[in-house]
């Protein structure tokens, strides 16, 4: 079985695949996982997370996640990273702090903290 650190790294890498598949990404999550972009409302359940990923992914031509630092202690993983969003002739680097809990080899909690102004610029074109 993969360690929590390996699970989070693999999930982050899967976003950078040019043929990103929401089913493949959501497979890293527990059935009852909770994903939240703070301060937005949480998304609960693997199916809802998959739907969010599918919708979010259509807004961009590519998404690349570059982990700068990652630490793991037991089931908890935290990383500092840049998520680069490419689309509509625009490149938006988004600095993110991520918190994850991994239970039985699957992500059960994922919370991301970032500057909402940067994400709004990516969507406002």
Catalytic residue annotation: 83, 112
Residue 41, Cβ density class (10 Å: 0-12 exposed, 13-18 middle, ≥19 buried): exposed
91: left (phi over 0), alpha (psi -120 to 50) or beta: beta
DSSP letter (8 states) at residue 125: -
Place of tokens 């996640």: 65
CA distance 1 to 11: 15
């Amino acid at each position: 079985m993969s360690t929590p650190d390996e699970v989070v790294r693999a999930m982050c890498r899967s976003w950078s695949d040019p043929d990103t598949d929401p089913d493949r990404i959501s497979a890293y999550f527990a059935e009852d996982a909770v994903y939240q972009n703070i301060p937005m409302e949480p998304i609960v359940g693997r199916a809802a997370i998959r739907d969010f990923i599918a919708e979010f992914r259509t807004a961009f031509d590519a998404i690349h996640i570059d982990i700068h630092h990652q630490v793991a202690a037991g089931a908890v993983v935290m990383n500092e990273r840049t998520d680069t969003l490419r689309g509509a002739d625009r490149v938006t680097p988004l600095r993110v702090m991520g918190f994850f809990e991994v239970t039985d080899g699957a992500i059960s909690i994922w919370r991301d903290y970032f500057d909402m102004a940067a994400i709004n610029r990516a969507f406002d074109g």
